[in-house]
Structure 1
Amino acid sequence: MLQSRVARPRRLALIGLTGALALSLSACAESERDSGGGGGEGGTMVFGAAGAPSNFDPFYASDGETFRVTRQMFENLVGLKPGTAELEPELAKSWESNEDGTTWTFELQEGVTFHDGTPFDGDAVCANFERMYTQTGAGASPALAYYWVENFGGFADTDAPSLYESCEATGETTVELTLSRFTADFPTMLSQDSFAMQSPGAMDEHKANDVKSQGDSFVFSDYAREHPTGTGPFTFGGYDEANGTITLNRNDDYWGEKAKLNELIFRIIPNETARKQALEAGDIDGYDFPSPSDWAALEEAGYTVEIRDPFNILYLGITQKNNPALKELKVRQALAHALDRETLVSSVMPADSEVAKQFYPPTVDGYADDVQEYPHDPDKARDLLAEAGYEDLTVELWYPTQVTRPYLPNPEAVFGALREDLEAAGITVEPVSKPWAGGYIDDIEATRAQLFLLGWTGDYNSPNNFIGTFFGTPENQFYTAGSPWGDDLAGALDDADTIVDDAERETAYQDINRDLMSEYLPAIPLSHSPPAVVVSPEVEGLVPSPLTKEEFSTVTISE
C-alpha cells in the first residue's frame, strides 16, 4: 500500500468501524469513570456474530467482527462516550499538548492492572507503542498492521516516514508521546480498537509478535490465538472453533465499574436469516445488522430493535479513466441530476435514512451548509450531456453481491433504483455485479470499474477520516484516476489536516467540501442510513453506538 505524500497514510474507503471527536491543542479531559462499582447481576448473554474473528490481537486486526470481541477485553488511552462519537477519558484520565501539537502528555488512571496482573503504567504504554512501531516482517505488512500504517505510517526499520516519533514514561502514571508533526486527528485516532493497550508481560511470554505469512493468510502467535490480555471488563475464556463460539468472562478485578454479566458468548452464524431464526428460537440474545425489511416484524414480535444514529455515507463512485465521458464535469453533474435520491431514501433505504448532500454527515466538523446541490432533474441531465457532447452516454454500473453493509443493506435494490433513474435520463446502463469479497473490491481498487456503489462508516469524528480517506491518498486513486486535479485535491486535504487553529481548519474543510461538490464531483453522495442491532426482550442496558462500537459490560439479562 502506498504512502501519502506527507506521510499521512489513510484507510481505504471500504470498511469502517470506530470514531471520536477531535480535540483542540489545549484539550484536557478529566475522567468520570466510576473506579468502584459492583456489577454482579450475573447471567450469560449470547450474541450472534456474522463471522469469525481473524485473531484476538487487535493490533493485527481491521475487521468489525474481531473488534466486536476484542473491544470487550481491551481498553485504549482515550475512549468514546457511550452512544456518541464524543471523546472521553479511558485509561488516560487527562491529556494536553505543547503549543504546536507535537508532544502530548497523558496522565494515566491509577491502580489499573492487566488481566495477568501486569501493572498498567507509563512503561506499559511505551512498551505498546514501541511494539507497534518496531514491527518487522509479516507484522509490518499493511494487511496486518492496517491501522498503524493508515494512521501513523512507517515503522522503525523502514524508510517510510512515521507520525510516531517517541514515547517516554516521565512518571509511573505519566507518559509523553512525541509526534513528527501536528495532525488534527490526534489524539482521537487513539480511540480506534487497534491501538488498545495490551499486557507487555503476556505479549512477551506468549510471543505476540511471532506472526508469519502463509500464502494469502497468516499464522498467528499463541498470544493472538489463546492469550489476549487487556485491562477491560471481560477476560478471554476461549475459542471453540468447532462449535463457533467465543467465551468471555467477567473480570472481577476490573478497575472500573464491573460488568453485570457473568459470561458473554459470541456464536458465529454467518447467514443473516439463520441469525434471525436463532434469535426467534431463543438460541441467541441478539445480533447485528438485521435486515431493514425485518425491523417492523421483529418489533411486533417483542424484540428490541435499537436503531443507531447514522454515521456513514453511501455514494456512487466514479472512475474517470475508463470512460472518457466521465472525465467531463458536466457529465458527472448530469449523473447527479439524473438520480432521484429522495425516492431512493424513502423507498429503498432503511427508515430514518437521509439524503446525503456531501461526503459525510452534518455532525462531522467542516460540514458546509451551502454546497452545490443536484436536485433530481432528468431534463437538466439530458441538457448537460448534450452540452458535453455525450447525448448517447453508455456507462457500466457496478454493484456488489453476497454482502450487506451498514450503508448498503440491499445492494441489488439500490442498483435497480439508480439504473432506472439513469435510463430515464437517456443513459444506457450496462450492469456489472461481483461478490464483495470475490472480485468487487479488488477490481474497484484496480480502477477497472466505471460507476460503482461504495460507502464508509466513520472511524472517528473527523473530516479527515471521511474525505481525507476517500480523496487524499494515492491508494484511493480510483476516485481521481484520469483527472487533472487529483493532486490539487489531495494537497488541499493535506494542508487542512496540518492547520492548528480550530476555526481556520473548520473553514478550510468547508471550502474543500464546497469544491468537492462544485469543481470536482469525484463521486456522488447518496445517503446516510442508520444500521440497527436487535436484542431479545430480556436484554437491558445495551447502548447503541453510531459507530457500531457497542460495549456489553452494561448489559443485563432478566430471567
Structure 2
Amino acid sequence: MRNQLAISSLMGLALLAQTPIGQAASNLVFCAEGSPAGFDIAQYTSGTDNDAAEPIYNRLTEFEAGGTAVVPALATRWEVSPDGLTYTFHLREGVKFHSNKAFTPSRNFNADDVLFTFNRMLDKAHPFRVAYPTEFPYFTSMGLDQNIKSVEKRDPLTVVFTLNKVDAAFIQNIAMNFASILSAEYAEQLLASGTVRDINMQPIGTGPFVFQRYQKDAQIRYKGNKDFWAPERVKIDQLIFSINTDASVRIQKLRKNECLVTLNPRPADLPALKADKQLQVIEQAGFNLGYITYNVRKKPLDNLQVRQALDMAVDKKAIVDAVYQGAGQLATNGMPPTQWSYDDSIKDAPYNPDKARQMLRDAGVKEGTELTLWAMPVQRPYNPNAKLMAEMLQSDWAKVGIKARIVSYEWGEYLKRSKNGEHDISLIGWTGDNGDPDNWLGTLYSCASIGGNNYSMWCDEKYDALIKAAVASSDRSQRSELYKQAQHYLKQQVPITPIAHSTVNQPLRASVQGFRVSPFGRNNFSGVSLAE
C-alpha cells in the first residue's frame, strides 16, 4: 500500500509538471534542496526544516515579510512590565487549528495551546515530553529554558510570561520558528492513543497551509487553508515542495516551468538566469556566514596554537574566489557586517603556511596527522559548494603537514552527528534568525548552545559572561560594547575560521508575485500569488 501511495503521489507531481504551471494559477511548486528531518520544528534548526514547517504554523509574534521588524501574529498585542521581566500577550480570537484524518479540533486556539507549546520545552517531566523525549536546541541555546520562570494563563485569551532576568531579544526570539504554537488538544489525543510521534510527521498548526503528505527525498504537499485567520494571505490552493539536492536539476526544472521558485543556484548559473526573460532573480546582501568549526574537545584541536596554525594556513581569498565566484564577501568575524554591533576593527591573521607549519611542530603535532573534515552534502545560502571548499582546505592543510580526510553524510544525519561532536573539523554556517546579535554570538558560540548550534563544542566562561551581560541589558550602546568585546575574544580563541558572507540570489518564474526574500533565509509562501 505504501508503495502504491508513493507511486500515486509521484505521478501526481509528474502530471502537474507536464502542464505549464503558470496556467494553473492556484498551484505552486517550490524546488527545495533537501528533505526535512520532521515538522515538529522546535526540535530542528536547519533552513531545510524551517522552510518545510513554515507553511503550517504561526507564532505569537512574527517578522514582517522581507524584513526584521516584529509584528503581531497569534498575539494581537502585548505589554512589557517596567522591570522588563513580565510579558502579557493578548491572543487573537477565532483562530482555527487544521484537521487531518485522525484529528478534528473541537475548539479554537486559546491560551492552553501556548502553555502546552512552551511548557513542553521548559519541563523535562512534562507528560508529553516523557512520552516523546526530545531536545529543543534553539530554546536551550538561547537560555530560554533557564530564563522563562513561568508561563501562565490569565484567561482563555491572555498569557503571561515571567522571566528570571531581562532578555532584550525576547520578542524577537519568540517570533522564530521554534516557538510555533502547537495544538494542546491534538497532543492530548496523541498521548491518549500512544501515537505521540505523529506530532512530528502528521503536524497540526494554524498556518496558511495545511500539511497533506511527505515523501522523503521526493516531495511535500500542502493545501491552502480556507479557514486561515488572515484569508487575504492564502492565494495558492496547492503548495508542493519538490525535493532536489542537485542545483543543476533545480535550475532545469525552473527553466522548464516544472517549478516556479527555487533556491541556492550555483554562481556559474547566475548570468544565464538573469538573462532569461521568463525568470526573475531577486538579489540582496546575505545576512549569513559560512565558516570552519574546530571541535575543541578533540586532540590536537583543544590546543589554541593548533587552531591558530590551521586558521593561518587557509587561503581564504582563493576559496572565496573559487567557491563563491563573485557572489561572496570575505569574512573575518563571527557574524556579518550588516548586524548591528559588528566590530569592523577585527582583522584576520595573515595567510602564512610556513609559520603555520612551524607552529604545528612547536605544538607537538606530527607530520601526517590525520583529521576528519566534514563537508555538507547540500548547497546552503552561506556555502554554494562545500565539497569544493573541503577539497581546497585539504590541499591547504596538506602544505602544513595535516592530512584532512573528507567525510559527508545525508544532511539530517550530518547535523545530528555534528551536534553530537563526532567530527574533528566541519564546514557549517548560519543565516541570522531574528536580527539580534545574540542570535549569532549566543546561539552559535555559547556554552548553552553546545548540543545545539555550537559545533566547535567551545565553552569559555569569560566569553559567556560578556554575552550574558549583553543580552540582559536594555541599553543598545552598552550591549554593542559588550558584544564587541566578545567578538575580539572569539577571534583570539579561534573556535572557528570565518570564510565568507554570500550574496543571496533567489530565482523564480516571472509569473510569481508577492514573494519576498527573507533576510533570515526562509522561503515563505504566505501572500504569494501567480499572475494569470
TM-score, scaled relative to structure 2: 0.79
Partner of 1:141: 134
Partner of 2:79: 96
CA distance in structure 1 between the partners assigned to 2:464 and 2:490 by the alignment: 11
| Aligned partners of 2:43 and 2:134 also within 8 Å | no
Partner of 1:497: 471
> Per the alignment, in what secondary structure is the counterpart of residue 284 of structure 1?
coil
Letter in 2 for 1:310: G
Q: CA deviation at 1:85?
A: 2.9
Letter in 1 for 2:129: T
Q: Deviations over 1:337-362 (max 9, x none)?
A: 44332332233215331111210112
Q: Deviations over 1:199-254 (max 9, x none)?
A: 444444x4278676xxxxxx723x65446131x33334x21649744131242553
Residues 47, 403 of structure 1: CA spacing in aligned structure 2 closer, same or farther, 3 A cutoff?
closer
Letter in 1 for 2:51: R
CA distance in structure 2 between the partners assigned to 1:304 and 1:280 by the alignment: 11
| Aligned partners of 1:202 and 1:227 also within 8 Å | no
CA distance in structure 2 between the partners assigned to 1:321 and 1:129 by the alignment: 32
Greater shift after overlay, 125-134 or 540-549?
Answer: 125-134
Letter in 2 for 1:525: P
Spell out structure 1 runs of 4+ moving beyond 6 A: 208-212, 382-393
Residues 398, 261 of structure 1: CA spacing in aligned structure 2 closer, same or farther, 3 A cutoff?
same
Partner of 1:470: 444
Q: Deviations over 1:266-314 (max 9, x none)?
A: 2334444433333333322222323333222333344223335312222
CA distance in structure 1 between the partners assigned to 2:155 and 2:417 by the alignment: 50
| Aligned partners of 2:353 and 2:400 also within 8 Å | no
CA distance in structure 2 between the partners assigned to 1:480 and 1:472 by the alignment: 9
Residues 386, 257 of structure 1: CA spacing in aligned structure 2 closer, same or farther, 3 A cutoff?
same
User: Pairwise mapping of residues 152-231 of structure 1 onto structure 2 (< 5 A)?
Assistant: 162-171=146-155, 173-204=157-188, 206-207=189-190, 220-221=197-198, 225-226=201-202, 228-230=204-206
TM-score, scaled relative to structure 1: 0.76
Residues 432, 446 of structure 1: CA spacing in aligned structure 2 closer, same or farther, 3 A cutoff?
farther
Residues 101, 48 of structure 1: CA spacing in aligned structure 2 closer, same or farther, 3 A cutoff?
same
CA distance in structure 2 between the partners assigned to 1:171 and 1:69 by the alignment: 33
CA distance in structure 2 between the partners assigned to 1:468 and 1:240 by the alignment: 33
Residues 443, 500 of structure 1: CA spacing in aligned structure 2 closer, same or farther, 3 A cutoff?
same
Q: CA deviation at 1:513?
A: 0.7
User: Pairwise mapping of residues 25-424 of structure 1 onto structure 2 (< 5 A)?
Assistant: 43-115=26-98, 118-130=107-119, 132-133=121-122, 134=126, 135-142=128-135, 145-151=136-142, 162-171=146-155, 173-204=157-188, 206-207=189-190, 220-221=197-198, 225-226=201-202, 228-230=204-206, 232-236=207-211, 238-239=212-213, 241=215, 244-251=219-226, 253-255=228-230, 257-301=232-276, 302-320=278-296, 322-324=298-300, 327-329=303-305, 332-378=307-353, 381=356, 396=371, 398-400=373-375, 402-422=377-397
Partner of 1:522: 495
Partner of 1:21: none
Partner of 2:483: 509
| Aligned partners of 2:312 and 2:356 also within 8 Å | yes
Letter in 2 for 1:314: G
Letter in 1 for 2:30: F
Q: Deviations over 1:166-185 (max 9, x none)?
A: 23343554331112333333
CA distance in structure 1 between the partners assigned to 2:186 and 2:293 by the alignment: 44
Letter in 2 for 1:119: N
Aligned counterpart in structure 1 of residue 512 of structure 2, from 533, 539, 554: 539
> Per the alignment, in what secondary structure is the counterpart of residue 348 of structure 1?
helix
Letter in 1 for 2:154: T
Residues 504, 256 of structure 1: CA spacing in aligned structure 2 closer, same or farther, 3 A cutoff?
farther
CA distance in structure 1 between the partners assigned to 2:66 and 2:466 by the alignment: 32
Letter in 1 for 2:286: P
Q: CA deviation at 1:77?
A: 1.0
Point out where structure 2 has 5 or more consecutive residues left out of the alignment.
1-23, 99-104
Residues 390, 62 of structure 1: CA spacing in aligned structure 2 closer, same or farther, 3 A cutoff?
closer
Q: CA deviation at 1:383?
A: 7.5
> Per the alignment, in what secondary structure is the counterpart of residue 73 of structure 1?
coil
Q: CA deviation at 1:192?
A: 1.8
CA distance in structure 1 between the partners assigned to 2:383 and 2:455 by the alignment: 20
Identical-pair percentage: 26
Partner of 1:23: none
Q: CA deviation at 1:480?
A: 6.0
| Aligned partners of 2:284 and 2:504 also within 8 Å | yes
| Aligned partners of 2:209 and 2:222 also within 8 Å | no
CA distance in structure 2 between the partners assigned to 1:303 and 1:150 by the alignment: 40
Letter in 1 for 2:81: N
Letter in 2 for 1:304: Q
Q: CA deviation at 1:514?
A: 1.4
Residues 195, 350 of structure 1: CA spacing in aligned structure 2 closer, same or farther, 3 A cutoff?
farther
| Aligned partners of 2:288 and 2:501 also within 8 Å | yes
Q: CA deviation at 1:94?
A: 3.0
Q: CA deviation at 1:128?
A: 3.7
Partner of 1:487: 461
Residues 323, 227 of structure 1: CA spacing in aligned structure 2 closer, same or farther, 3 A cutoff?
closer
| Aligned partners of 2:151 and 2:160 also within 8 Å | yes
Q: CA deviation at 1:414?
A: 1.3
> Per the alignment, in what secondary structure is the counterpart of residue 177 of structure 1?
strand
| Aligned partners of 1:396 and 1:429 also within 8 Å | yes
Partner of 1:553: 526
Partner of 1:458: 432
Q: Deviations over 1:442-487 (max 9, x none)?
A: 6655656544423222332233222323332262687366xxx833
> Per the alignment, in what secondary structure is the counterpart of residue 489 of structure 1?
helix
CA distance in structure 2 between the partners assigned to 1:393 and 1:510 by the alignment: 38
Q: CA deviation at 1:543?
A: 0.6
Residues 558, 466 of structure 1: CA spacing in aligned structure 2 closer, same or farther, 3 A cutoff?
same
User: Pairwise mapping of residues 1-12 of structure 1 onto structure 2 (< 5 A)?
Assistant: none
Q: Deviations over 1:478-524 (max 9, x none)?
A: 7366xxx8333334333433334332222111111112223x22222
Residues 254, 497 of structure 1: CA spacing in aligned structure 2 closer, same or farther, 3 A cutoff?
closer
Partner of 1:35: none
Q: Deviations over 1:100-139 (max 9, x none)?
A: 3221122334554445583344454335434554343253
CA distance in structure 1 between the partners assigned to 2:475 and 2:166 by the alignment: 11
Q: Deviations over 1:425-445 (max 9, x none)?
A: x51231211123497656655
CA distance in structure 1 between the partners assigned to 2:184 and 2:161 by the alignment: 18
| Aligned partners of 1:472 and 1:491 also within 8 Å | no
Aligned counterpart in structure 2 of residue 431 of structure 1, from 395, 400, 404: 404
| Aligned partners of 1:394 and 1:427 also within 8 Å | no
CA-atom RMSD, angstroms? 3.6
Letter in 2 for 1:533: Q
| Aligned partners of 1:318 and 1:522 also within 8 Å | yes
> Per the alignment, in what secondary structure is the counterpart of residue 523 of structure 2?
coil
